[in-house]
Amino acid sequence: MWRIIHQFGSPPWVYRFCDKVIPWLMPITIGALLVGSVWGLLFAPTDYKQGDSYRIIYIHVPAAVVALAGYYVMALAGLVSLVWRVKLADTAMRAAAPIGAAYTAIALITGAIWGKPTWGAWWVWDARITSMLILFFLYVGVIALFEAYENKTVAARACAILSLVGTVNIPIIYKSVDWWYSLHQPASIKFTGSSAIDASMLYPLLGMIITFYALFALLMMLNLKQSLTEEYAQSAWLNKRLAA
């Protein structure tokens, strides 16, 4: 166990790992994204209430789900940075933040597009939507803090603290439709009990959620490689790797 932790704290090992996985993960993710998009947007049946406007669910829901999971990735990296002072955790935290912000922005934008024909408004100060907007600001806050400090050690500590404090918002997002009156519909996918969505619509949605996770992992590794290349440009192990 400690050997695995030590490996993930080693920049050369992580760089090699990314180098090996990216060439395989990239075509698989792109292919799955194309298949899932065509399946959901063109071949899934029309909803009897919302018509074809519901099809944005195949972008909106996966983006929202992975935006929440991505925040936990960033917060976990922040925890490792604060407790064990692993420098690579700072790099991982910085790599995850812009991806998470992009996913959250996609969720908010597609939600607004979906809300117009469903609710009659692009935006309402609904509990779920407002807490998702806070999540976006938390991601942007981490990005801004990294750039605000010249001392990157201090910047990493500030970002780690913000990331950990911000985890309070995640359960609020999950439970907002249960705790407060909300225009936002409850979860359609349920792991206990039957889901509120037909299998013909559910399977492409689950496929897109998995694909969005894979895309997050791919983008994360690309960001890590870029960051490590910049941070260790003069190191012997990186020059040797690039030469090989």
For 114-162, the pLDDT digits (tens) are: 999 988 899 989 899 999 999 999 999 999 999 999 999 999 999 999 9
Residues of the chain with pLDDT under 70: 1-6, 188, 190-195
Distance CA 73, CA 44 (A): 32
- For position 6, what pLDDT does the model report? 65
| Contact of 82 with 160, CB cutoff 8 Å | yes
Angle among Cα 185, 140, 122 to the nearest 5 degrees reads 35
| Contact of 93 with 160, CB cutoff 8 Å | yes
The domain spans of the chain are 13-230
Q: Considering the entire predicted model, what is its pTM?
A: 0.94
Name which of 90, 91, 97, 88 is nearest 8 in CA terms. 88
- For position 190, what pLDDT does the model report? 64
**What is the DSSP secondary structure assignment for residue 39, as one 8-state letter?**
I
Cβ atoms within 10 Å, residue 230: 9
- For position 194, what pLDDT does the model report? 67
Percent helix, percent strand, percent coil in the chain, to nearest 5 = 80, 0, 20
- For position 191, what pLDDT does the model report? 58
Type of residue found at 208: M
